Structure formats: C-alpha cells, structure tokens
Amino acid sequence: MVRSNEWVRTGIASLAICVAGGALLWRGTDGFRALTSEAARRRAIAESPRAVPVVELEDQDGLPFTLADYRGQPVVVDFIYTGCGAVCPLLSDGFRRLDRAEQAVPRSDDRRRLQLVSVTFDSLDTPARLREYASHYQADGRSWRFARVRNARDLAPLLRSFGIIVISDGRGGFQHNSAVHVLDRQGRLARLLDVGATPNEVARAAAGTGQ
Amino acid sequence: MSRAWVAALLFVALVTPVAREALERVMVAHMLVQIPLLAIAGALGATALPSLLKSRVARWNRSGLSGTLLALIASTWWMVPRSLDWALASPLMESAKFVTLPLLVGAPLALSWSSLGTMGRGFVIANVLPMWAVVGWAYIAAPVRVCNYYLVDQQVITGVALIAVSVALGAATALPSFAGRPRSG
C-alpha cells in the first residue's frame, strides 16, 4: 500500500517537473527556436520593433547627422570597425552589393532610395580612417555613409539599444555580433537580416516594416 | 570536515566576485568548471541532509525517478548557449544559475543516484554523455558564434572539452565492466 502510494507521489512529482520544466525551457528558448542570444535578439526585434536613441554621429567627412534624419526613408545600419579582419569585410561586401543594386534602380523619388549607414564602435576610427575604408569599398559617402559617435559616452547606449555586444579579442581587435539592421520609416529598429542579405531580402524587409 | 561544510565553503567560494570573474571570463571554465562545481556543491549539501528529511523526500522520488528528471531538465537549461549569455547579461539570471544548479541539479541527482539502480544509471549515462558530445561537436562546427560574450576560439575549445569529458566519463564508466574480475559472484 505504502509502496504504491509512493509511486503515485513520484508520478505526480515527475509530471509536475516535466510540465513546469518543459514550459520554462519552451519560454526560455522561444519555443526551441532561439537557442542563442543572437537568435533571440532577432526574434524579439521582429516581433516588436524598438526605438533607438537619437545619437549624434559624424560621417567620414566629419559631417554631423543622426539616424533620425533618415525617418521616412528605408535605411539599413551595420556595426563595424575598420581594423576588422573577420566579419566586417563580409558585412561591408554585402553593403557594397546593396548600394550598387540600389544605384542601378531608377527612382523618381529620392526619398524612397535605400540608405546605408555603417557605424564604427572602435574609438581609433577617425573620419580619415572611415574615409579610407569607404574608398576601399568604393562607397560614395552619401547613399552609404560611415559614421562614428561624436561623444564617446553615446556609444554604449547606442550599441545596447541595437543589442550589439563588442568584446576584445585580446589582440587589439574585437569580436561582435553582426547583422543587417533594417530601420522602419519611424526610425525604429524593425528587422535583422543575415550578413550578406540580398537586395531583394532588404527590400522586402524594408517594405514589411512600412507605416 | 563534514560534507555540509565542504558544500557551504565551495558554494561561498564560487559566489565570490573573484571566482565569478575568473571562471566566467573563459567559456570553457564557465561551462565545465563553474557550472559542474555549483552542482557538486548542491550534491554534497544534499548528502549531508538529516536522514529524516531524506526519507521524506524519497517518498516523492521512488527509484530516483522524479529527482533525476528534475536534474536532467534543469541541467539542459544551462546547456543552452543563450543561458550562458543571459547569465552574463542579467544579474537575475546569474542569481538563478547559483540557485538552480545546486538545488535543482546537484541535490536531486545526489538524492536519486543510488536508488536509480544499475539500469537507470546506465540509461542516464548513455543519454547524457552522447548529448554532451553532440553539443561539443555543434560548438566546434557552428558557423557562427553561439555566445555573444565569448570569442569564437573559446567556443571551439569548449566544444573539444565537452567531447573530451564525455569520452573520459564514458570510458571511466564502461571500462570497469570489461577489465578485471567482477567485484562479486
């Protein structure tokens, strides 16, 4: 009698553990679809676009601007540093393809043109270095701009709002998560695409994030 | 020194900022030193519980079934790369790690292991070790960084270490059955 009683209790406990544990695992991994924090970041942003702080940037020519200046226009942003030998060249190659493809499209309204902004998180990247980097990628510096924050203290909040985590690689460089960040027409961070996203994918994401 | 004291000292040592900083800076130490040591602290603490309490718990843990399930599910949580990042980014998640690993992994496993029986133990080992090896292989083969707070080369080291631990524990479990005389009968 006692024995079977204990089995019943064990059964109840096991069931409760499976239900509660399964539910927590499900919640904690967005239904087993986000096993990494990067996947979770993408899902969270796609589900609810988030505002990004209006931070003063300066481009490769030292001209001041903010991402809010692009409101109403499709714009993609990435985070790079010019000394990067790992993922940034891939990001920048992808941005060059996007920029070229965009220039090849005739548009009656320039406000509908895709704009690209590459923001550096390395304090060593001066406008001069950004200019050199831009010319390496044959960017005109207008439809595709390279920027750094004007005030160093703005960098951390900017990176945090985008969900970019930069860690030192111990050799003077950095490792960082990377994506093509699509802003919607209200200037909110609305979608993340893979490095090397095609012009079609970007166009679809930018359209999907419309009004 | 009693097991309870060892468990308490081990736990307190792991909580200190120095140990946290040192063990969490490197992925392999985070996953294969800090996390197992937290579980071990819980296991040591559980074995030191008064026997009355142990027998009360055992009524809900026939043949170690529910305790083992709890340990398996809770440890799975901490195998997910997102959890490691989460613990580093959020103090709440970091605290959850220090509570759940001793209480929901180490302690229930220690209270269940001897009553699991040979078959049950074999089943757990035969499932858990290959899972670690597969996770290790995934860390080595992953085309992307799985943790935003760790360098990609640390991920590879962790993968190799996971496979090594899995093989070593597997060998340590299996070899005695092939080598030497049976202990009895």
pLDDT in tens, B92-139: 999 999 999 999 999 999 999 999 999 999 999 999 999 999 999 999
pLDDT in tens, A30-40: 999 999 999 99
Work out the angle between the directed axes of helices B91-100 and B3-15 (0-180°, nearest 10).
Answer: 170
Q: CA B140, CA B155: separation in Å to the nearest integer?
A: 7
**Which are the contacts of A73, defined by CB distance < 8 A and separation ≥ 6?**
A111, A112, A113, A115, A185
Residue B97: inside a domain: yes
Compute the residue count for chain A.
211
Measured between beta carbons, the chain A residues lying within 8 angstroms of B65 are: 10, 14
Cβ-based interface (< 8 Å): residues of A facing B: 5-7, 9-10, 12-14, 17-18, 21-22, 24-25, 28-29, 34-40, 165, 167, 169-170, 175, 177
Nearest to A35 among B58, B63, B80 (CB): B80
Residue A176 tokens read as: 């960082």
Predicted TM-score (pTM) of the model is 0.90
Nearest to B66 among A17, A39, A40 (CB): A17
What pLDDT, on a 0 to 100 scale, did the predictor assign at position A183?
95
- Give the distance from residue A113's alpha carbon to the nearest chain B alpha carbon, in angstroms: 31
CB A170 within 8 A of CB A159: no
What sign for the dihedral angle of Cα B69, B71, B73, B76? negative
The percent of chain A in helix, strand and coil, each rounded to the nearest 5, is: 45, 20, 40
Q: What is the dihedral of CA B83, B85, B88, B92, to 10 degrees?
A: -40
* CB-count burial class (<10 Å; 0-12, 13-18, 19+) for B175: exposed
pLDDT in tens, B79-96: 999 999 999 999 999 999
Nearest to B146 among A36, A169, A170 (CB): A36
Compute CA distances B114 → B55, B67, B117, whole Å: 13, 11, 6
Three-state SS string over chain B comes to: CCHHHHHHHHHHHHHCHHHHHHHHCCHHHHHHHHHHHHHHHHHHHHHCCCHHHHHHHHCCCHHHHHHHHHHHHHHHHCCCHHHHHHHHHCHHHHHHHHHHHHHHHHHHHHHHHHHHHHHHHHHHHHHHHHHHHHHHHHHHHCCCCCCCCCCHHHHHHHHHHHHHHHHHHHHHHHHHHHCCCCCCC
Q: Amino acid identity of B62? A: R
- pLDDT above 80 for A59: yes
pLDDT in tens, A78-132: 999 999 988 899 999 999 999 999 999 888 888 889 999 999 999 999 999 999 9
The verdict on a CB contact (< 8 Å) between B148 and A29 is: no
Phi, psi of B147 (to 5 degrees): -120, 130
Measured between beta carbons, the chain B residues lying within 8 angstroms of A28 are: 77, 80, 82-83
The verdict on a CB contact (< 8 Å) between B82 and A40 is: yes
**Which are the contacts of B172, defined by CB distance < 8 A and separation ≥ 6?**
none
Host H or E run for residue A15: helix A2-28
Level-2 CATH architecture, domain A46-208: 3-Layer(aba) Sandwich (3.40)
Q: Where are the alpha helices (DSSP H) in A29-87?
A: 37-47
Measured between beta carbons, the chain A residues lying within 8 angstroms of B58 are: 6
Q: CA A22, CA B119: separation in Å to the nearest integer?
A: 25
The interface predicted TM-score of the complex, written ipTM, equals 0.89
Structural domain harbouring B124:
3-177
CB A158 within 8 A of CB A55: yes
What pLDDT, on a 0 to 100 scale, did the predictor assign at position B144?
87
- pLDDT above 60 for A12: yes
Confidence band for B185, pLDDT divided at 50, 70 and 90: very low
CB atoms inside a 10 Å sphere around CB A33: 11
Task: Tell me how many domains chain B contains.
Answer: 1
CB B109 within 8 A of CB B68: yes
Residue B110: inside a domain: yes
Residue B185: inside a domain: no
Residue B182: inside a domain: no
